[in-house]
Amino acid sequence: MILGVPKEIKNNENRVAMTPAGVMELVKFGHTVYIQKDAGFNSGFADAEFTAAGATILETIEEVYEKAEMIVKVKEPIASEYGLIKKDQLVFTYFHFASSEPLTHAMIKSGAVCLAYETVEKVDRSLPLLIPMSEVAGRMAIQEGAKYLEKPQKGKGVLLGGVPGVPSGKVLILGGGIVGTQAAKMAAGLGARVVIMDISLNRLRQLSDIMPANVTTILSNEYNIKEAIKEADLVVGAVLIPGAKAPHLITRDMLKLMKPGTVVVDVAVDQGGCIETCKPTTHEDPVFVIDEVVHYCVANMPGAVPYTSTLALTNATLPYVLQLANKGWKRACTENEELKKGLNVVNGAVVYKGVADAWNLTLSELEDQFI
């Protein structure tokens, strides 16, 4: 198959959808890989590394879309790319159709086959192409929180690890899923005193078994949260209710219970945030202060560490890319239910219920697309 990897042009997107290691694997199977010039530059991969692995560099984005049977990307296509996508072309990327009506209509019109990273789903209902980004964001939450706890950054002036003779800082993590677990590991590693709250007792049991002694698990409820925020130096928001907005576990009124200079890192900001006062910020201007509480609410945290994020993402996507390239999308999706769940829009038909519901469109029978 002929694969094309364009340079990401969405504002502040520095990741690339394929590494030289991925190119090498695809070329081994006899596939042709075109990479747009400088596509990997911001993630630390030079064109020469792609060429050495067997790829061909193309100057322009137009050439990449024109030559490729399958496009592998990171972010959803933006308006200037809509017209470049061809009928029957396979596009494998994050789409998040339910948050963009123009994108949905443009992809229907294109007649392309749109396979969305975010809806590829395993039998246990986990989302293998979202997990790596949650792992990055969870670990980053502590790094960013520790930074903004410094006095010059408007924080309390607390060193999370403490020093001999001085107690370590207190970290409260709301939600013990992927983000929460990774945040807890990082905070515990720094020597902080960590509390993880979740509504799932089973999850808390698992965490209690695997976490070190400086991590305590507590059931998430209003009473326990109110008590914990009085003491916390850093609060990480990491809850998720699939398909719904995040619940406001810390309301505006509750900020008064927190000590001045406390930092909240609301990772769940992309689902509305679990702290009522959270609103999305960017890496250029990541924090704001309300009631003397420092809020960090960057909606694309992994974007700040593109080298790590690119490797984490491509580690997870490559096995699927190989299946699609080796078998073509119809056979790959027939033989692998996980991939089949990623099909959102196929040859002008919406085949994913969440997308049809979001924009009041007719849901077509997915099986009809395989005939």
Stretch that binds ligand NAD, among 46-54, 164-172, 198-206, 363-371 (CB under 6 A): 198-206
Output 190 or 240, the one with its CB closest to ligand NAD.
Answer: 240
Give the separation between CA 137 and CA 139, rounded to whole angstroms.
Answer: 6
Site string for ligand NAD, 305-334 (x = CB under 6 A): ------------------------------
How far apart are CB 221 and ligand NAD at their closest, in Å? 8
40 binds ligand NAD (CB under 6 A): no
Question: For 163, which DSSP code?
Answer: B
The dihedral through the CA atoms of 343, 348, 351, 352 has a sign that is positive
- Residue 38 annotated as part of some ligand binding site: no
- Residue 163 annotated as part of some ligand binding site: no
Catalytic residue among 96, 105, 248, 291: 96
- C-beta separation of 70 from 42 below 8 A: no
Output 225 or 346, the one with its CB closest to ligand NAD.
Answer: 225
Output 72 or 268, the one with its CB closest to ligand NAD.
Answer: 268
350 binds ligand NAD (CB under 6 A): no
Is residue 96 among the annotated active site residues? yes
Give the separation between CA 74 and CA 314, rounded to whole angstroms.
Answer: 10
Q: 252: alpha, beta or left, given left = phi > 0 and alpha = psi -120 to 50?
A: alpha
How far apart are CB 238 and ligand NAD at their closest, in Å? 5
Token pair in block for residue 356? 């049809």
Rounded alpha-carbon distances, angstroms, from residue 237 to 129, 155, 247, 265? 21, 17, 10, 6
Binder among 116, 174, 195, 343 for ligand NAD (CB under 6 A) = 174
- C-beta separation of 17 from 74 below 8 A: yes
Q: DSSP H helical segments within 111-177, as ranges? A: 131-148
Binder among 68, 137, 187, 264 for ligand NAD (CB under 6 A) = 137
Number of residues in contact with ligand NAD under rule CB under 6 A:
32
How far apart are CB 177 and ligand NAD at their closest, in Å? 2
Output 103 or 268, the one with its CB closest to ligand NAD.
Answer: 268
241 binds ligand NAD (CB under 6 A): yes
Output 28 or 283, the one with its CB closest to ligand NAD.
Answer: 283
How far apart are CB 120 and ligand NAD at their closest, in Å? 15
Token pair in block for residue 59? 């100057």
Is residue 270 among the annotated active site residues? yes
How far apart are CB 324 and ligand NAD at their closest, in Å? 24
Which positions from 256 through 285 interact with ligand NAD, judged by CB under 6 A? 267-271
DSSP, collapsed to helix, strand or coil, labels residue 96 as coil
CB-based contacts of 349: which residues, under 8 Å, 6+ apart? 108, 364, 368, 369
- Residue 75 annotated as part of some ligand binding site: yes
Binder among 197, 211, 258, 293 for ligand NAD (CB under 6 A) = 197
- Residue 70 annotated as part of some ligand binding site: no
Helix (H) or strand (E) holding 178: helix 178-190
Site string for ligand NAD, 117-136 (x = CB under 6 A): ----------------xx--
Catalytic residue among 233, 266, 270, 295: 270
Helix (H) or strand (E) holding 314: helix 306-335
Of 3, 63, 57, 59, the C-alpha closest to 27 is 3
Query: Which residue type, as a one-letter code, is found at position 367?
Result: E
In degrees to the nearest 10, what's the CA dihedral of 109, 316, 301, 81? -20
In angstroms, the first-to-last Cα distance of the chain is 21
Give the separation between CA 212 and CA 189, rounded to whole angstroms.
Answer: 9
Q: Which residues are catalytic?
A: 96, 270
Please give the residue ranges that form the binding site for ligand NAD (CB under 6 A): 133-134, 137, 174-180, 197-200, 203, 220, 238-241, 246-247, 249, 267-271, 299-302
- For the annotated binding site, the residues are 15, 75, 134, 198, 203, 220, 239-240, 267-270, 298-301
- For the annotated binding site for substrate, the residues are 15, 75
